[in-house]
């Protein structure tokens, strides 16, 4: 046997391979790109910032053209997708998406670069995103942090939003529950969007595959076991299955506006729809809740097929939600 050939520990194709020496091959990552003083398509400026040195958390922040100190604009704190184990806030597709969203919504956006599993298994990613949001919110307090001038100069913290796609939408959900129970330095999250949220569970719903053996082989199951091997309850941990018996009440979601978007061809669609109805039935006291169901589209189409007309329409819908 060739001594240079690494021994495979596990793989979830087509996404990731993990080797016994601890190394990882991420097979579908979009290329990393630098920030830009002025994006040629949108005019949006971006830069990379350090949120925390210990633990190491960074972010890419976006500022639309012609934003002034008065009137101040909303802020979106965004969590990227990628199954908790691939993709980056600094990737080409994420940067393209954030530039367009920042321009169309005319908001400051900060995309958190949280640490990835399996090198940093969950709940580390959840903790990184919560720490990132706390750091952002601290810029709103008199005498608080002023580390990032784009936050302290241009942002109206009464219009703070969080959002994410796929695993990032899962992160946003967990963040909303935590903000609802613990508070956020006196700042209230006005709204949130969860796009194609990565939720799952052991019991099939809707059009999902019913055979348990086949379900265990789905990426939705295998990814979770890879990224959170010690998860209490396994695939029915409330972080992944927010409608399972004994989960925290969805009435505790800490925002007043909520937009759930799903795609008709997405394996995760029924979970997003189920979540929407569960929140409606929970007694959540928000002022607005909306479900967007896009025909003929698949998971994360607005990022992966970003030039399509369908993608443009969804981005515009998300932008118009942030007020």
Instruction: State the catalytic residue, choosing from 166, 173, 196, 261.
Output: 166
299 is an active site residue: yes
Tokens 């020496």, located at residue = 21
Instruction: Count Cβ atoms within 10 A of the Cβ of residue 145 and give its class: 0-12 exposed, 13-18 middle, 19 or more buried.
Output: middle
Instruction: Centre a 10 Å sphere on the Cβ of residue 162 and count the other Cβ atoms it contains.
Output: 29
Q: Which of 273, 256, 31 is nearest to 160 (CA)?
A: 256
Cβ–Cβ < 8 Å for 187, 98: no
Instruction: State the catalytic residue, choosing from 80, 139, 196, 299.
Output: 299
Tokens 């999250």, located at residue = 189
Tokens of 276: 């929407």
CA angle 169, 314, 323 (to 5 degrees): 75
Instruction: State the catalytic residue, choosing from 58, 196, 266, 302.
Output: 266
* CA distance readout (Å), 104 to 63, 101, 109, 321: 12, 5, 12, 11
| Residues identified as active-site | 166, 266, 299
């Amino acid at each position: 046997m060739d001594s240079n050939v690494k021994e495979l520990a596990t793989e979830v194709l087509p996404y990731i391979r993990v080797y016994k020496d601890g190394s990882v091959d991420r097979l579908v990552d979009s290329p990393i790109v630098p920030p830009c003083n002025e994006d040629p398509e949108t005019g949006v400026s971006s830069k990379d910032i350090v949120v925390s040195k210990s633990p190491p958390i960074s972010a890419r922040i976006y500022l639309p053209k012609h934003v002034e100190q008065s009137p101040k604009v909303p802020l979106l704190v965004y969590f990227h997708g990628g199954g908790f184990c691939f993709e980056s806030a600094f990737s080409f597709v994420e940067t393209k998406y954030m530039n367009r969203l920042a321009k169309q919504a005319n908001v400051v956006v900060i995309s958190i670069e949280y640490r990835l599993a399996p090198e940093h298994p969950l709940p580390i990613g959840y903790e990184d995103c919560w720490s990132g949001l706390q750091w952002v919110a601290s810029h709103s307090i008199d005498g608080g942090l002023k580390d990032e001038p784009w936050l302290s100069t241009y942002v109206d913290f009464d219009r703070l939003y969080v959002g994410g796609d796929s695993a990032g939408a899962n992160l946003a959900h967990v963040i909303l529950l935590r903000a609802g129970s613990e508070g956020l330095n006196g700042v209230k999250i006005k709204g949130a969007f969860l796009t194609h949220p990565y939720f799952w569970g052991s019991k099939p719903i809707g059009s999902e595959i019913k055979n348990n053996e086949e379900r265990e082989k789905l990426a939705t199951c295998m990814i979770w076991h890879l990224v959170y091997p010690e998860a209490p309850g396994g695939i029915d941990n409330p972080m992944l299955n927010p409608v399972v018996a004994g989960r925290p009440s969805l009435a505790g979601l800490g925002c007043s506006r909520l937009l759930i978007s799903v795609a008709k061809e997405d394996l995760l669609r029924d979970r997003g729809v189920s979540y929407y109805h569960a929140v409606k039935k929970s007694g959540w006291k928000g002022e607005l809740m909306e479900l967007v169901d896009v025909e003929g589209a698949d998971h994360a189409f607005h990022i992966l097929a970003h030039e399509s007309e369908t993608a443009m329409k969804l981005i515009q819908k998300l932008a118009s939600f942030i007020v």
